[in-house]
Amino acid sequence: MGQSSSSLTPEMAAQIKTKVDEIIASHDVVVFSKSHCPYCTMAKKLLEQLEANAFVVELDSLSDGRAIQDYLQELTGQRTVPNIFIKQKHIGGNDSLQALNKRNELKPLL
């Protein structure tokens, strides 16, 4: 899945940071996902049901996916996918998303 951030030059690491920060800033709902991850499928399905129009980044289909995952860990403390943001706020993974929905607190965020 490509380079991890430990093998990146400072310039490449800065580019990854800029790219990820821009994705989060420019979309209301962002899911960093992997295409074969069942938790990602559950999260994407719920967001679809709520017509959230999520911007999905499938890390396993990107050459810099691993470096993005490393940066997400640095940014959020979370390494697993899905890694979800709503209106620039870090939500967490599928567990957190489903829990918000069960408490009827997800829809108002969208």
Ligand X SMILES: N[C@@H](CCC(=O)N[C@@H](CS)C(=O)NCC(=O)O)C(=O)O
Contact indicator for 41, 99 with CB cutoff of 8 Å: no
Residues of this chain that bind ligand X (CB under 6 A): 34, 37-39, 80-82, 93-95
> CB-wise, 26 or 45, nearer to ligand X?
45
| Shortest spacing between CB 59 and ligand X, in angstroms | 8
In the bound complex, which residue of the shown chain has the CB atom lying closest to ligand X? Answer: 93
| Shortest spacing between CB 42 and ligand X, in angstroms | 8
